[in-house]
Structure 1
């Protein structure tokens, strides 16, 4: 499970920002030690919500692909803050704390346009830090006594522009492969676009072929989309998902259905995969094409201990303020599960938590946000809009 993510100098995230999954203490309640299963990010358009999520994606991709897919002489395909020369020249920083087999680990790295400048992995088996490896330059590394295996052989295979963790996983190092899976293979990213939707639907197709099909179809039926069942139809060259409506003998291609139906079905595949593996689902604009009851249902699936037995987590960005309120008299998001992004005049993104505000237990969070009480709201004066049209008539 993720505990904390830190990033600096990625897209609009200029200064170091932290997204925490550690539960905040609540007045009059005992402290909660289990990491949060949900984090939702709100903010104005272009405030950096997607860039925070993209930083997590970029880190995951670097772990997954830097050794096998990055060109050996092409440097680092990073995306630094572009609105100042220091941002272009400064290194980009990524670090994540997580739990694996009930042991806390901290892994991170710094990169510039050419190479990995630093990379480190520490564990905390008894609350004390234990160094597993530390890379202090593109060509220098040291190892702790707690990390076994063919460390030097793997180091000789590690290029200056690839991560040691990525190389170690490609060479089947037991512990580093397990950490690689946490940060890479078990983290799924749901983004916009037809290509990404097809990728998500490929996971749904796999689940429909297996023992998850009844569960997935039941979730499809109860969404009140008028769909009885999703099925896989094999063709001569490929397979595709088709949908069956109640009492109708004709099967419909998924492409004939609404954007909301496709979004729900494609997100269900990722969600069920994460829930079964204890992975992380990162969804940008989770409310896109979905009714608030569906997006809130997805959030509740991750928050329900009986459903989420493996400790899966959901990180999302949204404009849907109903998720901040008490939909159907139930709290959807607790205050430590709500985050905001706000952009400075310079264009840099600040990330902060609702838990930093002293909210009353009965405070209407949705109303307070829309009233600008917590910031992270666009400023738009409708009188200025009227003036544009009035001046054209003069």
Structure 2
């Protein structure tokens, strides 16, 4: 499980920001290391919510692909902060604390446009750090005594622009391959709003139906969503197989293309959700409320927080604009304050990330109202009088466009 994620110099994230999935103790409670299964991120448009999710996805992709897929001659395909010259010169930084077989580990790396400048892996078997390896340049590495195997041979095979951990997994190092499998978060899925992303998610649903995997779960989750659908069937057709939504009785069946955006959105989420809940990992959901009723969004969140459903300790990290979802989730006890995060940009365009747990809120405080009133920041500033002035300056052009 992911415990903490730190990132700097990625897209709108200039300075180091930390997303913690370690529970914050309530007043009077002792400190504990209980990990959270859900984190929700709120903020104004273009405040950096999606960029934070993308940073976690990018780290996972770098671990998975830097040795096997990155072009040896084209450096590092990073995305630094571009609103200042310093961002282009400064390394990008990624670090994750996570659990592997009950032991806490910390892994991270720094990269510029050309090479890996640093990479490290430490274990904390009894609370104290134990170094496994430390890379202080493209080819400079030291290893801890507990890391056995062909570590030097793997070092020689590691390119300046690829990660040592990625190379070790490609060369079947037993311990580092196991760490690699855990650290790439097993089944990290980045669900974004958009037609192309929805199509790829529906392709996964088609694959599950074609193989007869989780068909009952998919149909049951469709029925309980109260969409009027009894089941979905995969029908062979040219040029692509079609998903047909069957209804009860004599109600006509429709192809998925004829269904509402909400039905398509819910079905497209089910494939990734079922897989991650079954095998573990992280589901990243950008704009979780897009086209979904708040009750369906909250149902998805509830599934990850239910220990009978989420037996693999999967995690859901989502962004949302739906303030009604924010209010109802907290009032109903579904989201705790340490599971709510905000993003806000400063005057230079850099993203800041902070938690609702940093505010001393009353137990009966209306979080939704407080958020919309700007009590916690992370909302756009709009002065309606400025908008009024735009229209008071004079009438808009009434000329008809030329054909």
Q: Aligned partners of 1:329 and 1:12: how far apart in 2?
A: 32
Corresponding residue for 1:76?
A: 76
Q: Counterpart of 2:34 in 1: which secondary structure? A: coil
Q: Counterpart of 2:393 in 1: which secondary structure? A: helix
> Can you give the 5+ residue segments of structure 1 that lack an aligned partner in the other structure?
none
Corresponding residue for 1:25?
A: 25
Corresponding residue for 2:399?
A: none
Task: Return the offset for 1:144.
Answer: 1.3
Deviates more, 1:196-205 or 1:374-383: 196-205
Matched, 1:205 2:206: yes
Matched, 1:379 2:393: no
Equivalences for 1:1-394 in 2 at 5 Å?
1-29=1-29, 31-184=31-184, 185-208=186-209, 209-235=211-237, 239-248=241-250, 251-326=253-328, 330-393=332-395
Provide the aligned length of Structure 1 versus Structure 2.
394
Q: Residue 330 of structure 2 contacts residue 367 of structure 2 at CA under 8 Å; is this kept in 1?
A: no
Q: Aligned partners of 2:147 and 2:253: how far apart in 1?
A: 55
Q: Aligned partners of 2:244 and 2:305: how far apart in 1?
A: 30
TM-score, structure 1 as length reference: 0.95
- Listed one character per residue, the Cα deviations across residues 145-202 of structure 1 (whole Å, up to 9, x for unaligned) are 2222222222222111111111112222222222222333421111132222122223
Q: Aligned partners of 2:253 and 2:147: how far apart in 1?
A: 55
Q: Aligned partners of 1:148 and 1:199: how far apart in 2?
A: 41
Task: Return the offset for 1:204.
Answer: 2.1
Corresponding residue for 2:400?
A: none
- Moved runs in structure 1, 4+ residues, more than 4 A? 28-32, 235-238, 248-251
Q: Residue 325 of structure 1 contacts residue 331 of structure 1 at CA under 8 Å; is this kept in 2?
A: no
Q: Aligned partners of 1:332 and 1:370: how far apart in 2?
A: 20
Q: Residue 200 of structure 1 contacts residue 269 of structure 1 at CA under 8 Å; is this kept in 2?
A: yes
Q: Aligned partners of 1:148 and 1:76: how far apart in 2?
A: 29
Q: Residue 330 of structure 2 contacts residue 337 of structure 2 at CA under 8 Å; is this kept in 1?
A: no
Q: Counterpart of 1:203 in 2: which secondary structure? A: helix
Task: Return the offset for 1:311.
Answer: 0.7
Q: Aligned partners of 2:192 and 2:172: how far apart in 1?
A: 30
Task: Return the offset for 1:322.
Answer: 1.6
TM-score, structure 2 as length reference: 0.93
Q: Residue 285 of structure 1 contacts residue 318 of structure 1 at CA under 8 Å; is this kept in 2?
A: yes
Q: Aligned partners of 1:383 and 1:236: how far apart in 2?
A: 56
Pick closer, same or farther for the CA change 1:50–1:93 going to 2, 3 Å: same
Q: Aligned partners of 1:90 and 1:320: how far apart in 2?
A: 35
Q: Counterpart of 1:42 in 2: which secondary structure? A: strand
Task: Return the offset for 1:250.
Answer: 5.3
Task: Return the offset for 1:203.
Answer: 2.5
Q: Counterpart of 1:153 in 2: which secondary structure? A: helix
Deviates more, 1:204-213 or 1:219-228: 204-213
Task: Return the offset for 1:29.
Answer: 4.4
Deviates more, 1:175-184 or 1:161-170: 175-184
Q: Aligned partners of 2:314 and 2:232: how far apart in 1?
A: 25
Q: Residue 92 of structure 1 contacts residue 111 of structure 1 at CA under 8 Å; is this kept in 2?
A: yes
> Can you give the 5+ residue segments of structure 2 that lack an aligned partner in the other structure?
397-403
